[in-house]
Amino acid sequence: MLGLKAFETNRDIYSPNRNIAPLSSEINESGKLVVGGCQLSELAKKYGTPLYVFDELSLRTACRTYISSLKKHYPGDSLPLYASKANSSIAMCAVIASEGFGLDAVSEGELLTALKGGMKGEDIVFHGNNKSHNELKFAYKNNVTIVLDNHHDIELLKNIASDKNPAKLMLRFTPGIECHTHEYIRTGHLDSKFGFDPDDLKSVLEELKTYKWAKLNGLHAHIGSQIFEVQPHVDLAGVMADTLKIAQEIGHPITDLNLGGGLGIKYVKEDNPPSIEEWVEVISNAVVKACRERNLDLPRLMCEPGRSLVANSGLTIYKIGAKKIVPGIRTYLSIDGGMSDNPRPITYQSSYSACLVDKPLNTNCEKVTVAGKHCESGDVLLKDFFLPACKSGDFLAVFGTGAYNYSMSSNYNRIPRPATIMVADGFVELTQRRELPEDLLQLDVLPDRFIPRN
């Protein structure tokens, strides 16, 4: 059963990524689900559905746990960077910046959002495997560290950066390590669109040393996402320390070592990711050991959490509509959202946990399949899922939707995107307004010759 009682078992109040529901989740005297001191069914009635809800307590707790864990376990300087692709909004960036984080961005849009949210340019790194001239120019103008991903970046920067104001750079390479939830691959050459191949590193480092417009301060590597294992990061630290030693011998003043992100979260009760502190302790000890073995000074340690910062602080509320019973096969419950506000199930076959917001502890359940409203048979959010008996108009909360839901959302079938709110201590802040149907027409152009003439 996926009632809230299951969520409260072994709750980790220090590591939100290990909880299905937000930290502030509770059941009020009426037996209804409350988050951030706000009853979810009342929020749904006031702000409409679908509705993205963020728990500020969970978000800030995750940020503070990363910061405190780095200070506790890493004896050198450190700077965690928010992987803003997980969820990019001005309000989200403002909260995370206020907690002492930097940020990584992969487009001018994410850069602009971060800057508007109060992130300082010097605390932002700019990724991407096909950066445009305009994007690089915008990053350079705002004092952002640019992550060199390939020779194309170098050629474009030759016409942007100046000798008097060298571009701050970081070099990304494929470390021969790839890890996802149930996969761990170690090889010399990974098939990836990102980063320089290991065989190219020395020649690229020597080339960059000849450019006065280039100031290489850091190295970057990333080994995957939704990671539950820690050993791959130990291996990664050794590979990066080897590269750091080569770069310094060539004459680059490398001060930053960025090990990427990828820490997994708990989507369903079977998931068992490491805590934030466990993950930080492993990478910190690994970097310290690798540097000491090579007689290297400790660099500033960077990491790039995204999902583990925001996913479990978020949930989505839907309203249940139509019900269809296919005798002997399946019962469908249709909701007022789906693949346009959460494309992960149809794209990755991702699993989620959910409950009825006004019956979170009801154990009188039936097996249903929760389907979205889009014109796709594969638009299914929860397959063969157990929920209490419900009716049209009931509200459903789906947990763990704070990452890669709004940021990957679309207007498929010309369906507007949901609103986003943040809750804390009984207060509600609207952080992204709901799109309206007429908003979807703002960029449309109707040529004169297409207008009917009488």
One digit per residue, pLDDT tens: the chain, 454 residues?
A: 344 554 555 688 889 999 999 999 999 999 999 999 999 999 999 999 999 999 999 999 999 999 999 999 999 999 999 999 999 999 999 999 999 999 999 999 999 999 999 999 999 999 999 999 999 999 999 999 999 999 999 999 999 999 999 999 999 999 888 776 656 555 556 778 899 998 899 999 999 999 999 999 999 999 888 989 888 889 999 999 999 999 999 999 999 999 999 999 999 999 999 999 999 999 999 999 999 999 999 999 999 999 999 999 999 999 999 999 999 999 999 999 999 999 999 999 999 999 999 999 877 789 999 999 999 999 999 999 999 999 999 999 999 999 999 999 999 999 999 999 999 999 999 999 999 999 999 999 999 999 988 7
| C-beta separation of 352 from 415 below 8 A | no
Q: What are the Cα distances from residue 208, in Å, to 148, 158, 170, 212, 258?
A: 11, 11, 11, 8, 19
- What's the pLDDT at 6? 45
273 and 329 housed in the same domain: no
Domain presence at residue 386? yes
367 and 269, same structural domain? no
CA angle, 108 as apex, 412 and 224 as ends, to 5°?
A: 75
Q: Which of 283, 387, 406 is nearest to 341 (CA)?
A: 406
CA–CA distance, 440 with 22 (Å, rounded to integer): 32
Q: Which residues contact 444 (CB under 8 A, 6 or more apart)?
A: none
- In this structure, the answer to whether residues 285 and 319 fall within a common structural domain is no
pLDDT at 7: 52
Cα–Cα distance measured from residue 388 to residue 375, given in angstroms and rounded to the nearest whole number: 27
Q: Do 355 and 214 have their domain in common? A: no
What are the catalytic residues? 375
Do residue 318 and residue 296 come from a single domain? Answer: no
Whether residue 231 sits in one domain with residue 149? yes
Q: Within 10 Å of residue 76's Cβ, how many Cβ atoms?
A: 16
Domain end among 304, 323, 352: 304
Cis peptide preceding 273, ω within 30 of 0: no
CATH code at position 385 = 2.40.37.10
Tokens of 243: 């590269």
Q: Given phi > 0 = left and psi -120 to 50 = alpha, else beta, which region is 285?
A: alpha
Taking the C-alpha atoms of residue 453 and residue 326, their distance in angstroms, rounded to an integer, is 49
Q: Please tell me whether residues 410 and 330 are part of one structural domain.
A: yes
What CATH code is carried by the domain that includes residue 175? 3.20.20.10
Q: Report d(CA 231, CA 283) in Å as an integer.
A: 9
H or E stretch at 224:
none
Gyration radius of the chain over CA positions: 24
Residue 119 domain-assigned (yes or no) = no
Residues 152 and 281 in one domain: yes
Q: Which of 304, 333, 358 is the last residue of a domain?
A: 304
Q: What angle do CA 453, 437, 434 make, to 5 degrees?
A: 160
The 33-35 sheet, strands edge to edge: 26-27, 33-35, 38-39
Instruction: Mark whether 287 and 327 lie in a shared domain.
Output: no
Helix (H, G, I), strand (E, B) or coil at 26: strand
Does any domain span residue 447? no
Note whether 176 and 187 are within 8 A (CB): yes
Domain identity same for 355 and 427: yes
Predicted pLDDT at 189: 61
- CA-nearest of 149, 139, 246 to 193 is 149
Is residue 25 a contact partner of residue 423, using CB atoms and an 8 Å limit? Answer: no
Amino acid found at 151: H
How far apart CA 41 and CA 397 sit, in angstroms, is 9
Is residue 419 domain-shared with residue 287, that is, in the same domain?
no
Residue whose pair of structure tokens reads 């098939």 in the numeric block: 191
Q: Using the 3D structure, point to which of 304, 331, 357 is the last residue of a domain.
A: 304
452, part of any domain: no
Expressed in angstroms, the distance from the first to the final Cα of the chain is 63
- 85 within a domain of the structure (yes/no): no
Residues 165/144, Cβ–Cβ less than 8 Å: no
- The verdict on residue 205 lying in a domain is yes
Beta bridge partners of 331: 325
Token pair for 56: 């500020």
* Cα–Cα dist 172/60, whole Å: 29
Backbone angles phi, psi at 420, to 5 degrees: -125, 135
**Half-sphere exposure at residue 398, Cβ-oriented, CA atoms within 13 angstroms:** 32
Distance CA 252, CA 16 (A): 38
pLDDT (0 to 100) of residue 3: 42
For residue 170, what are its two tokens? 């970081």
Is 449 a member of any domain?
Answer: no
133 with 272, same domain?
yes
Per the structure, the count of domains in the chain is 2
- Residue 369 included in any domain: yes
How would you classify residue 224: left for phi > 0, otherwise alpha for psi between -120 and 50, otherwise beta? left
Q: How many CB atoms lie within 10 A of CB 181?
A: 15
Which pLDDT score is estimated for 183?
Answer: 62
> Range of 23's domain?
4-55+313-441
